[in-house]
Amino acid sequence: MSDAQDRPQLYLITPPSFEVEEFAPKLARICDAVEVACLRLAMASGDEDEISRAADQLRELAHARDIPLVIERHALLVEKLGLDGVHLPEGARDLRKLRKTLGDDAIIGAGCGTSRHDGMAAGEAGADYVSFGPVGDSALGTGQRAEPELFAWWTEMIEVPVVAEGALTPALVETLTPITDFFAVGPEIWSTEDPLAALKTLIAPMMG
C-alpha cells in the first residue's frame, strides 16, 4: 500500500459544535498540510442561521482547495447553501428520493453503523459511499464495532467506496489501510492541543 494511489483518502469531520472564526484557521492549516478528499459539516445544532454561517465560511475554505463539502443530516440545506452533498447517518432512508431531488452530481453518503445489510441497501439506493463505524472502542451508539472482516468483505465484493470512522487509532489505521477507501477523522484530533500533529500521528501507518 505504499503507492500513494492505493492509499485510503482522508475525509475530515468537523466537531459537533465550534466557533467558526476559531475553527476555520485550524482546518485551513490541516487542509494545506495534508491531502483532504472531503469535508463533512457535522454540527449538532438545529439552528439554521448558525449552520449557514459555518457552512458559508467552510465552503469558501474547502472550495478554494478543491475539497467538496457535504453536510450531515440537513439535506434541505444542500442546494440553499451551495454545498456538494449530504451525509445520511441512518443509511438508505430517503436516499432514492434525495438522489432525484439533488441530482446525479451531488455526493450522497450513508452511515450504516456495523450493518452489512444496511450498507448493501444504501449502495443499491445509489449512495456514493458507505460508512461503517465505530471501528474502535466507543461509548457512543450500541457499543458494537465495525470489525475489519466487514471492510475486507465489502472491499472484495462491493464496488461502492467504503469509509472507516469512529474511535480510530494508529493501530486500526494500519489494519484497515488495505481494506478501506477512506478514513473519516474528527473527534480523534479536534480535542487535542495540535490537531494537525494528532492527525499526522494517527494516519502515519497508512503513509508508509
Chain mean pLDDT for the chain: 95
The tens digit of pLDDT for each residue in 4-37 reads 558 999 999 999 999 999 999 999 999 999 999 9
The separation between CA 123 and the C-alpha centre of its own chain, rounded to angstroms, equals 16
CA distance 206 to 208: 6
Give 47: exposed, middle or buried? Use CB within 10 Å, 0-12, 13-18, 19+. Answer: exposed
Residue 207 CB partners (closer than 8 Å, separation 6+): 7
Q: What is the pLDDT of residue 2?
A: 37
Whole-model pTM: value is 0.95
Residue 164 CB partners (closer than 8 Å, separation 6+): 8, 131, 132, 133, 135, 146, 151, 172, 176, 180, 182, 183, 184
Query: Do the beta carbons of residue 107 and residue 41 sit within 8 Å?
Result: no
Sorted by where each starts, the structural domains of the chain and their CATH numbers stand as: 4-207 (3.20.20.70)
Closest by Cα among 97, 72, 88 to 16: 72
Q: What is the pLDDT of residue 141?
A: 63
Give 205: exposed, middle or buried? Use CB within 10 Å, 0-12, 13-18, 19+. Answer: middle
Backbone angles phi, psi at 74, to 5 degrees: -80, 70
Closest by Cα among 194, 180, 208, 205 to 33: 194
The tens digit of pLDDT for each residue in 50-105 reads 999 999 999 999 999 999 999 999 999 999 999 999 999 999 989 999 999 999 99
Count CB atoms within 10 A of the CB of residue 155.
16
- Specify the residue for cell string 482522508: 10
Count CB atoms within 10 A of the CB of residue 81.
19
Count CB atoms within 10 A of the CB of residue 114.
18
